[in-house]
Structure 1
Amino acid sequence: METRIAVMGIIVEDTQVTEKLNGILHEYGTYIVGRMGVPYRDRGICIISVIVDAPGDVISSLAGKIGMLDGVSIKTVYQKAGNSHAD
């Protein structure tokens, strides 16, 4: 199965959704290579970066579920096409 590397930048403005967000990330945990979260207390937000190695449809599904959470913004940057590998 072909996979791609992607980096997801997530900004959480409503910390009430943190439990839901963590649940979604846990659901896709087998695809997550790394994750870093930084609380920006001066602004009252959290900034999270997530690196995934997954098929494109899985990446899109994960980003879509996160993007539907109220108070959360997400952008995804994909590895250039043709640089993927097969399992």
Structure 2
Amino acid sequence: METRIALIGIIVENTDVAPKINSILHEYGEYIVGRMGLPYHKRDISVISVVIDAPNDVISALSGKLGMIPGVNTKTIYSKVTPQASK
């Protein structure tokens, strides 16, 4: 199956949902290349970036699950690098 590199940007406006976000990210851990979270105390939000190498349907499912959480907004950016067959 072909995989793609994508970046999922997550803005968390309600930090009470952090355990739900972490649970979903853990569920997709085998595909996650890396993640970085930044609390922005001035605005009382957190910004998380997740780099993922996965099939399109997995990327869409992860982004969709995160985006359905109240107080969470996501945006996914796909690399233009040619998809690669997974090992």
Same fold judged by TM-score > 0.5? Answer: yes
Structure 2-normalised TM-score?
Answer: 0.96
How far does the alpha carbon of each residue in 1:14-72 deviate from its partner, in whole angstroms, 9 at most, with x for none?
00100000000000000000000000000000000000000000000000000000000
Alignment length (residue pairs): 86
Which residue does the alignment assign to 1:79? 79
Whole-Å Cα distance in 1 between the matches of residues 3 and 74 of structure 2? 20
Aligned: 1:47 with 2:78: no
How far residue 79 of structure 1 moved from its aligned partner, in angstroms, is 1.3
How far apart are the structure 1 equivalents of 2:53 and 2:11? 21
- Distance across 1 between alignment mates of 2:41 and 2:69: 21
Match of residue 2 from structure 1? 2
Aligned-residue CA RMSD (Å)? 0.8
Secondary structure class of the residue paired with 1:17: helix
TM-score (norm 1): 0.96
- Provide the rounded CA distance (Å) in 2 between the counterparts of 1:56 and 1:65: 14
1:32 aligned partner, one-letter code: I
In structure 1, the residue matched to 2:33 is 33
- Unaligned runs of 5+ residues in structure 1 are none
Find the residue that maps to 1:42 and give its secondary structure. coil
Structure 2, gaps ≥5 residues long? none
* 2-structure distance, mates of 1:19, 1:86: 33
